[in-house]
Amino acid sequence: MVGTFYKVRYKGPGGNQVEESGFLTQDEAIDRLTNTYKAKKASPANRARSERIEKCGQMRLREYTALWRAGQRHLAAASLSHLDSLLQHHVFPALATRRMSAFDHNVVDGFIRTMERNGVGLAAQSNAYDKLKSILLDAVRSGTPGGDRRWQGSESGLCSGQSPRQPSRHGTCNGTIGDPPAR
């Protein structure tokens, strides 16, 4: 077979698709892809992200929240006081010792159900949920929960602008964190 060459396609460093051709055998093409993959995995950015995921994924919610709270410089003193109160009275008693890599929609749903069972008012449920959502979304954006996307849907399963007992205002978040359970 004269003139038959193998092509390989992969994502380049900038995220663009790269195509290379001219490989005489399939083994040469596979070797090229393997070398490209190894070089990409060894890059400093991927190593730093992997280290951050491993470090933060093993953190407890209380530890991660302390880091997250330090970054909330835009909050006024009264807002920080309200945040601390929500964390101490609602979020930490239920979730403080849970590892960040162990969160999923079932954990958050269980948190909401526990608040309901304990007779927490709807406003406090909504506020506590919103703060937990903010913390978890920050963790997802930084790649923390195991580096995967276990929360599906908009913004990794947490519907923006949605409280525990409010239906989705956007109509796109069916069955994700924040939707009331079907009864």
Per-residue pLDDT tens over the stretch 95-125: 999 988 888 889 999 999 999 999 999 999 9
Kindly tell me the burial class for residue 43, based on how many C-beta atoms sit within 10 Å of its own C-beta (0-12, 13-18, 19 or more): exposed
Task: Please state, as a whole number, how many other Cβ atoms lie within 10 Å of the Cβ of residue 80.
Answer: 13
Question: Phi and psi of 18, rounded to 5°?
Answer: -115, 135
Reported pTM? 0.56
Per-residue pLDDT tens over the stretch 129-175: 999 999 999 888 877 654 344 443 333 344 434 444 443 333 333 33
Q: How confident is the model at residue 6 (pLDDT cuts 50, 70, 90)?
A: very high
Per-residue pLDDT tens over the stretch 33-73: 999 888 887 776 666 666 666 777 788 999 999 989 998 88
CATH of range 59-157; options 1.20.58, 1.25.40, 1.20.1410, 1.10.150: 1.10.150
pLDDT at 7: 92
CA distance 13 to 175: 36
pLDDT at 39: 83
C-alpha distances in Å from residue 37, one per residue of 4, 17, 45, 46, 51: 25, 14, 14, 12, 19
pLDDT at 49: 66
Are 147 and 101 in contact, with CB atoms under 8 Å apart?
no
pLDDT at 2: 61
Domain ranges of the chain: 6-42, 59-157
